[in-house]
């Protein structure tokens, strides 16, 4: 059984600030092998959710440099996992953070933006770190930045992801078993 909790934006942003110009030793730095941008944003979102989705292939998780989901490190896979693309639907309905496509005006610090080129190919993922007077500022890796104005990028397009919450598993507690079997009531 799943329950939903709030995504902790403050923790995601604290993580982003701490590791904007350095690397957490628990994670591989993909900067020299395809880019570290989505990996870093996934780490930030993980800090704000503390729940991963271990569905093989279509989940969102990182265990080691040789055991991680494409959605944890890949721009397009990340998007598909979070917005519930049909290919990822089974995984996205399970544990972990989830979101929806949003407008720039609907975003909050702790949400995500991706940049596209002229061909409409999305190539870069950034954490929205602040919004001041309607201007969005971002933090990210590969070319490490902290609180950089989004509009200073020369991207052709932007798409925004609003993280709505985090699904987690509610364990079958002894309370349920005792209650359904008519043995006892929960005392706390």
Q: What does the pLDDT read at residue 169?
A: 84
Q: What does the pLDDT read at residue 160?
A: 98
Rg of the chain over Cα atoms, rounded to whole angstroms, equals: 18
Which of 100, 3, 17 minimizes the C-alpha distance to 51? Answer: 3
> How distant, in Å, are the alpha carbons of 52, 122, 169, 180 from that of 95?
7, 26, 7, 26
Q: What does the pLDDT read at residue 187?
A: 56
Q: What is the pLDDT of residues 142-156, one digit of tens each?
A: 999 999 999 999 999
SS3 string, 14-27, reads HHHHHHCCCCCCCC
Q: What does the pLDDT read at residue 176?
A: 59
Dist. CA 77–CA 6, nearest whole Å: 23
What pTM was estimated for this model as a whole?
0.90
> Buried b vs exposed e over 18-56: b needs ≥16 C-beta within 10 Å?
ebbeebeeebbbbbeeebbbbbbbbbbbbbbbebbbebe
Q: What does the pLDDT read at residue 173?
A: 58
Q: Kindly list the averaged pLDDT for each block of 10 residues, start to end, along the chain of length 188.
A: 90 96 93 89 96 92 94 96 78 85 97 97 97 97 96 96 92 62 62
Dist. CA 41–CA 28, nearest whole Å: 13
Assign residue 161 a region: left if phi > 0, alpha if psi is -120 to 50, beta otherwise?
beta
């Amino acid at each position: 059984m799943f329950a939903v909790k709030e995504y902790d934006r403050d923790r995601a942003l604290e993580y982003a600030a701490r590791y904007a110009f350095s690397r957490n030793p628990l994670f591989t730095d993909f900067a020299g092998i395809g880019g570290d941008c989505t990996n870093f944003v996934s780490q930030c979102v993980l800090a704000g959710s503390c729940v991963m989705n271990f569905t093989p292939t279509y989940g969102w998780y990182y265990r080691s440099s040789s055991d991680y989901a494409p959605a944890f490190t890949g721009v397009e896979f990340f998007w598909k996992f979070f917005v519930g693309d049909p290919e990822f639907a089974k995984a996205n309905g399970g544990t972990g953070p989830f979101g929806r496509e949003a407008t720039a005006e609907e975003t909050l610090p702790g949400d995500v933006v991706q940049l596209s080129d002229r061909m409409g190919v999305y190539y870069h993922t950034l954490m929205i770190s602040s919004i001041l007077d309607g201007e969005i500022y971002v933090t990210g890796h590969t070319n490490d930045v902290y609180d950089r104005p989004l509009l200073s990028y020369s991207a052709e397009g932007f798409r925004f992801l609003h993280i709505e919450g985090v699904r987690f598993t509610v364990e079958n507690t002894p309370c349920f078993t005792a209650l359904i079997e008519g043995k006892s009531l929960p005392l706390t």
